[in-house]
C-alpha cells in the first residue's frame, strides 16, 4: 500500500483541478504541467491508489466517488501545508509568496524524519535516504521559507520555532494523505489505522472494552495506543500524531481542539486495605487531613478536586505529586498515604484485598471523561466507527 509521501503533491493538486474544471487540459494549465505529463502523473497516482479516480469521456473528465474523496482529502492536506508554510515564511526575511507550491513530498518526508529522529544520521537511517540527500532537502525547504528550520544545539540539532510550526503543518498534511489512502483503498474486511492517546482512567474502564469490540468487528485496522498524561498527549494530538485523546476533560479545550464528554466519574478516597480509616463509614475532613496524600500535578482535574475537597480547611501534607496510577497503587499498598481516584482505576486491587475505598464516593468530586479531537479532523470510516462504538460502550458501562 502507498505511503502518504509516496504521492506526488503536484499530481494531487491536479486531481482537485480536474474535479473543478472537468478538463485535463485546463487542469494542466492550473498546475503548470504539460498535458502529457499530467496524463502520466494521473495514471501513476491511480496505480498507487489501485483505483480509477476519473471516468474519461469525449467531452471531459468526471470524477468517480473515489476521485471525489481523493480530491477532498488532498485539498485538506494541501491547506494544512499552505497554512503552516506561509506562517513559517512570515517568520523569515524574504521567502516565496507561496512556498508550499514548490515543496515536494520527498522534502517533507526528509524534514519530518529529521524532526522525529533529532538528527540527520537518524533521519537517514529511518528513511533509507542518504545523509547528503537529507541535508539537501532541509536546505531546500529553508530556502523556500527564507528562514532556518533546524538549529544546532551543542552536538545535536533541534527544530527552530519556525521549524516547529512547519513540522506541525506537515504532520497534519501527512495525516490527511494517510486518510486519503485509507478512504480510497478501503477493504471490505476493514483497513486503515487508529492512533489513540490514552489517559489513566480510560485505560482502566472504557478503552479495553471498546478495543475488544472494535478488533472483533474490524480486524484489519491497525491500532496504536499511546499512554500518557494530558500534558504528554495534547501536543501530539495537535500535531496530528494522535487521532484522538480519551480521558479527563479540561475546563476549556486546548487550542484548535474540541472536547466531547462521554461520562461523569465520581471520585473516592483510596488507601491500603487495613488503613486506619478503612473501617470508618464517613471519615471527617480532620481525619482525612491527618494522613499524607498523593496528589496530581497542578492544573490536573484530580488536583483541582483535591483542593476543592479541603477548601476552607487546612490542607493535609501532600509530599508526592504523581500522575501514574501504577506508581500510586504501589505507594498506597505500602503505607498510610491517601489519594483521590475513581474506584474503577483500582478495582482489581480492591477485589484482591490490596487497596480499599475510604468512605463513600464523594458527592461533589467529579471528573468529566471524554474525547478530545482536533477541530478540523475528519475521521476515516474506521475512526468514525470507533468513536460511535466508544459512545456505545460508555453508555453500557455507565448504565
- Which of 172, 197, 221 is the last residue in one of the domains? 172
- What CATH number is attached to the domain comprising 348? 3.40.190.10
- Give tens-digit pLDDT for 387-398: 999 999 988 866
383 and 242 inside one domain: yes
- Residue 154 sits in the same domain as residue 256: no
Pick the more confident residue, 1 or 16. 16
Q: What is the pLDDT of residue 167?
A: 95
Model pLDDT for residues 156-207, shown as the tens digit of each residue: 889 999 999 999 999 999 999 999 998 888 654 556 889 999 987 776 678 9
Q: What is the mean pLDDT of residues 215-225?
A: 91
> What mean pLDDT, rounded, does the chain reach?
91
**255 and 378 share one domain:** yes
The β-bridge relationship of strands 193-198 and 338-341 is unpaired
Same domain, 28 and 125: yes
Same domain, 331 and 379: no
C-beta of residue 67 within 8 angstroms of C-beta of residue 53:
yes
Whether 179 is in a domain gets the answer no
User: Is 112 a residue whose pLDDT tops 80?
Assistant: yes
Hey, what's the torsion of the CAs at 326, 332, 335, 339, to 10 degrees?
A: 130
**What are the C-alpha distances in Å from 95 to residues 49, 86, 107, 149?**
34, 9, 17, 13
The sign of the torsion formed by the CA atoms of 390, 392, 397, 399 equals positive
User: Which residue matches cell numbers 474540541?
Assistant: 258
Does 258 reside within a domain?
Answer: yes
Q: Does residue 31 share a domain with residue 147?
A: yes
Is position 237 within any domain? Answer: yes
Is 177 inside a domain boundary? Answer: no
Closest CA to 141 of 113, 172, 122: 113
181 domain-assigned: no
Pick from 107, 139, 172: which residue ends a domain? 172
Same domain, 126 and 44: yes
Q: Is the pLDDT of residue 69 over 80?
A: yes
Indicate which CATH number applies to the domain containing 157: 1.10.10.10
Determine, yes or no, domain membership for 180.
no
Give the residue among 324, 155, 162 at the shortest CA–CA distance from 232.
Answer: 324
Among 206-210, 327-331, 393-397, the least confident range: 393-397
pLDDT tens digit sequence for 87-109: 876 544 556 778 889 999 999 99
pTM: 0.83
- Fill in the DSSP letter of residue 194: E
pLDDT score, position 316? 96
Residue 314 lies in a domain: yes
Domain span holding position 377: 187-264+368-398
- The mean pLDDT value for 234-242 works out to 95
Mean pLDDT of 19-46: 93
Average pLDDT rounded to a whole number, residues 6-35? 93
Q: What is the DSSP string of 240-283?
A: TS-SEEEEEPPSSPPTTEEEEEEEEEE-EEEEETT-TTTT-SS-
Based on the structure, what is the number of domains in the chain? 3
- Of 137, 172, 207, which marks where a domain is finished? 172
162 and 232 part of one domain: no
Amino acid at each position: 500500500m502507498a505511503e502518504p509521501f509516496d504521492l506526488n503533491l503536484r499530481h494531487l493538486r491536479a486531481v482537485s483541478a480536474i474535479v473543478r474544471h472537468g478538463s485535463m487540459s485546463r487542469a494542466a494549465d492550473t498546475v503548470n504541467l504539460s498535458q502529457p505529463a499530467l496524463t502520466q502523473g494521473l495514471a501513476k497516482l491511480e496505480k498507487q491508489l489501485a483505483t480509477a479516480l476519473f471516468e474519461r469521456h469525449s467531452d471531459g473528465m468526471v470524477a468517480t466517488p473515489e476521485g471525489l474523496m481523493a480530491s477532498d482529502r488532498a485539498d485538506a492536506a494541501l491547506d494544512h501545508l499552505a497554512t503552516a508554510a506561509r506562517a513559517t515564511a512570515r517568520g523569515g526575511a524574504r521567502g516565496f509568496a507561496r512556498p508550499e507550491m514548490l515543496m515536494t513530498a520527498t522534502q517533507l518526508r526528509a524534514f519530518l524524519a529529521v524532526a522525529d529522529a533529532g538528527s540527520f544520521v537518524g533521519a537517514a537511517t529511518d528513511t533509507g535516504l542518504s545523509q547528503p540527500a537529507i541535508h539537501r532537502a532541509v536546505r531546500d525547504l529553508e530556502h523556500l521559507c527564507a528562514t532556518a528550520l533546524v538549529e544546532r544545539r551543542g552536538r545535536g540539532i533541534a527544530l527552530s520555532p519556525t521549524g516547529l510550526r512547519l513540522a506541525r503543518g506537515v504532520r497534519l498534511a501527512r495525516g490527511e494523505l494517510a486518510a486519503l489512502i485509507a478512504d480510497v483503498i478501503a477493504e471490505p474486511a476493514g483497513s486503515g489505522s487508529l492512533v489513540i492517546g490514552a489517559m489513566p482512567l480510560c485505560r482502566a474502564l472504557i478503552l479495553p472494552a471498546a478495543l475488544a469490540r472494535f478488533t472483533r468487528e474490524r480486524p484489519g485496522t491497525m491500532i496504536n495506543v499511546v499512554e500518557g498524561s494530558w500534558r504528554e498527549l495534547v501536543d501530539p494530538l495537535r500535531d496530528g500524531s494522535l487521532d484522538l485523546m480519551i480521558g479527563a476533560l479540561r475546563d476549556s479545550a486546548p487550542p484548535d481542539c474540541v472536547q466531547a464528554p462521554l461520562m461523569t466519574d465520581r471520585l473516592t478516597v483510596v488507601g491500603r486495605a487495613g488503613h486506619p480509616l478503612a473501617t470508618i463509614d464517613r471519615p471527617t475532613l480532620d481525619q482525612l487531613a491527618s494522613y499524607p496524600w498523593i496528589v496530581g500535578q497542578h492544573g490536573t482535574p484530580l488536583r483541582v478536586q483535591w483542593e476543592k475537597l479541603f477548601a476552607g480547611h487546612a490542607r493535609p501534607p501532600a509530599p508526592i505529586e504523581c500522575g501514574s496510577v501504577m506508581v500510586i497503587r504501589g505507594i498506597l499498598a505500602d503505607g498510610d498515604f491517601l489519594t483521590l481516584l475513581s474506584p474503577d482505576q483500582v478495582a482489581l486491587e480492591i477485589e484482591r484485598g490490596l487497596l480499599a475505598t475510604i468512605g463513600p464516593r464523594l458527592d461533589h468530586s467529579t471528573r468529566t471523561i471524554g474525547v478530545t479531537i482536533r477541530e478540523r479532523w475528519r475521521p476515516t470510516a474506521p475512526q468514525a466507527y470507533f468513536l460511535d462504538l466508544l459512545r456505545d460502550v460508555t453508555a453500557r458501562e455507565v448504565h
